[in-house]
Amino acid sequence: MEEVKVLINEERLSKRVKEIGEQIQEEYKGKEIILICILKGSVFFTVDLAKIIKGNVKLEFIRVSSYTDGTESSGKIDLKLDLNDSIEGKDVIVVEDIIDTGRTLSYLIDYLKTKKPNSIKLCALLDKVERRIQEVNVDYTGFQIPDKFVVGYGLDVDEKYRNLPYVGYIE
Ligand code: IMP
Ligand code: MG
């Protein structure tokens, strides 16, 4: 196995997740929130975030595969698992692990808008801003990170390392 170096440790992760959760709680006071977790990478982040937000939170799961042409997503995306319940008229927050080129999310947000939610916001734990090809509007960002391949806290390389409690990188 490759060596994984720590980029964001557990303490920084949980502090930032708590801040974002509290901000969301404040901004959605009294409203029902639908958190849409994008499988599999966002599972750890979504669960931790959901536990911070006090109030009416429901969870939905969606799964997409983005085809890569070598190192980046090609823009061709396949919906592998769709929403379970209708989000029409709901206040939705899409929770993503990482934004790289932005192609996956821009497709997904367009798709979700066709389901007529009342509002839709985007919350991403990590953002590799300098890699952006397709513009996406991120409402809540955990950390902006340099262009490194990261793993842990849900993120994988060939399904490995998702269970690391920190975000690390492989050189
Ligand atoms: P985008 O369409 O290029 O923004 O790709 C985003 C998707 O690529 C994410 O949801 C991840 O699944 C994957 N990805 C991008 N960068 C990384 C990384 O550094 N580590 C693990 N997965 C990544
Ligand atoms: Mg992903």
Residue 68: which residues within 8 A CB-CB, separation 6 or more?
74
Q: What is the mean pLDDT of the chain?
A: 94
Q: Is residue 60 part of a domain?
A: yes
Residue 71 alpha carbon to ligand 1 centre in Å: 10
pLDDT at 41 over 90: yes
CATH of the domain at 97: 3.40.50.2020
pLDDT in tens, 106-139: 999 999 999 999 999 999 999 999 999 999 999 9
77 — pLDDT class (breaks 50, 70, 90): confident
Report the distance separating Cα 21 and Cα 5, nearest Å: 27
- Mean pLDDT of all residues in 144-166: 97
Instruction: Give the total number of structural domains in the chain.
Output: 1
Q: Is residue 167 part of a domain?
A: no
Q: Is residue 156 part of a domain?
A: no
- 168 Cβ inside 6 Å of ligand 1: no
pTM of the model as a whole: 0.94
Q: Which range of residues forms the domain containing residue 57?
A: 10-150
For residue 125, CA distances in Å to 80, 87, 90 come to: 22, 23, 22
Q: Is residue 168 part of a domain?
A: no
Q: Is residue 3 part of a domain?
A: no
Residue 59: which residues within 8 A CB-CB, separation 6 or more?
34, 35, 37, 46, 50
Q: Is residue 165 part of a domain?
A: no
3-class SS shares of the chain: helix, strand, coil, % to 5 = 25, 40, 35
Q: Is residue 141 part of a domain?
A: yes
